[in-house]
């Protein structure tokens, strides 16, 4: 495998990988734009901002928006009046536009942009946010400088779904455990094993190789907070979320990935989905805020431009 050396190569790999991933992204990750998806993103925004969420925001900017999971759902949930959703991958941007049109959600603008070089005037947004994006960016200092520039004074930043270094290491345990029990699990469910990409399918084989190269950071909470503070943000807070829910989720997702998708019974999918939601609540009520942020899988960053 070729090593990725420069920031430009990282951006290029991210663009190519996500361009290929765009058409199957929503199915692969179970992205929902209905009640469940809206409740999930709203829950994260409430957790991040608490009372500061107030009546919501007028002008939102999303970086690394993918197919629109956060931005579109926040507009649908009524906490954002309008949003500009950006992504470096043209494939993702066009899929996001299609999703917004299909759902009939207006006030969503989709634009191609590198998060480290935002094509917007100073002070043009009230909130800037992202989900599972910071760990793909080669130059975080540059990105946070840009976020600071395009936010109006008093504007907020919210980032969710960023992997913590310790949480990422712990998550390898359920992933490995799933690999060990997968043959038994498939036998019990009478599910055939997944077949790999066909030899003629160069696009998908290449995408699989790139997958290893796009995730370039897993964060220590204090380091992430330091980057935001150095860019000029105030009231910076990094907390951890989802512990048991993530172990459960990774274990099940790793099992499922070993079976042909059509062969995983609906009853199993329902169990995995509801189990995840239940553990998410348990994490929030019993563990988050009590245990150190570093051991959770996901980090949630907030701050504001003074
Ligand atoms: C893991 S996906 C998350 C997508 C979406 N936020 C979600 O939660 O479903 C990461 C996204 O970041 C985008 N991305 C990667 N590097 C980027 C960069 N330098 N600038 C903007 N977007 C980038 C990718 O194209 C991809 O759509």
Q: What is residue 208's predicted lDDT score, i.e. its pLDDT? A: 59
Q: Give the fold, CATH level 3, of 7-164+198-242+291-304.
A: Rossmann fold (3.40.50)
Cβ partners under 8 Å of residue 252, min gap 6: 178, 272, 275, 276
Distance 239 CA to ligand 1 centre (A): 21
Atom 13 of ligand 1: nearest residue by CA position: 64
How confident is the model over 107-150, as pLDDT tens digits? 999 999 999 999 999 999 999 999 999 999 999 999 999 999 99
**Nearest 10 degrees: Cα torsion 120, 123, 129, 133:** 40
CA distance 199 to 261: 19
281, exposed or middle or buried, with CB in 10 Å at 0-12, 13-18, 19+? exposed
Regarding the beta carbon of 174 and ligand 1, being less than 6 Å apart is answered no
108-112 and 80-87 beta bridge pairing: parallel
Nearest residue (CA) to ligand 1, atom 27: 66
pLDDT, tens only, 58-67: 999 999 999 9
Ligand 1 binding pocket includes 64 (Cβ within 6 Å): yes
155 lines ligand 1 (CB under 6 A): no
Cβ–Cβ under 8 Å, residues 166 and 292: no
Q: Does the beta carbon of 96 lie inside 6 Å of ligand 1?
A: no
pLDDT tens for each residue of the chain, 306 residues long: 455 579 999 999 999 999 999 999 999 888 999 999 999 999 999 999 999 999 999 999 999 999 999 999 999 999 999 999 999 999 999 999 999 999 999 999 999 999 999 999 999 999 999 999 999 999 999 999 999 999 999 999 999 999 999 998 998 899 999 999 999 999 999 999 987 654 444 555 565 567 778 988 999 999 999 999 999 999 999 999 999 999 999 999 999 989 998 889 999 999 999 999 999 999 999 999 999 999 999 999 999 999
Nearest CA to ligand 1 atom 12: 64
pTM: 0.92
Helix spans in 199-301 (H) = 202-214, 221-230, 244-256, 266-282
Q: Take residue 182 and report the two structure tokens written for it.
A: 């997968």
């Amino acid at each position: 495998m070729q090593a990725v050396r420069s920031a430009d190569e990282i951006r290029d790999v991210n663009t190519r990988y996500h361009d290929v991933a765009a058409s199957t992204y929503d199915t692969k990750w179970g992205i929902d734009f209905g009640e469940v998806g809206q409740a999930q993103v709203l829950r994260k925004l409430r957790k991040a901002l608490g009372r500061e969420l107030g009546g919501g925001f007028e002008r939102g900017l999303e970086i690394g928006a993918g197919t629109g999971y956060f931005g579109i759902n926040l507009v649908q949930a009524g906490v954002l009046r309008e949003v500009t959703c950006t992504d470096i991958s043209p494939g993702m941007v066009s899929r996001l536009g299609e999703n917004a049109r299909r759902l009939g959600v207006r006030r969503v603008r989709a634009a191609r942009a590198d998060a480290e070089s935002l094509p917007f005037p100073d002070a043009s947004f009230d909130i800037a946010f992202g989900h599972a994006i910071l760990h793909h960016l080669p130059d975080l200092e540059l990105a946070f400088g840009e976020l600071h520039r395009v936010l109006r004074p008093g504007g907020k930043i919210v980032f969710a779904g960023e992997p913590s270094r310790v949480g990422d290491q712990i998550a390898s345990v359920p992933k490995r455990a799933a690999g060990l029990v997968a043959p038994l699990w498939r036998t019990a469910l009478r599910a055939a094993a997944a077949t790999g990409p066909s030899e003629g399918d160069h696009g998908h084989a290449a995408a699989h190789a790139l997958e290893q190269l796009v995730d370039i950071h897993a964060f220590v909470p204090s380091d992430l907070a330091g980057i935001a503070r150095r860019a000029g943000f105030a009231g910076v807070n990094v907390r951890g979320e989802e512990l048991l829910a993530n172990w459960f989720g990774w274990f099940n997702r790793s099992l499922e990935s070993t079976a042909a998708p059509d062969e995983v019974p609906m009853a199993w999918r329902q169990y995995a989905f509801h189990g995840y939601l239940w553990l998410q609540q348990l994490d929030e009520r019993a563990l988050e805020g009590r245990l150190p942020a570093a051991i959770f899988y996901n980090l949630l960053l907030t701050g504001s431009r003074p």
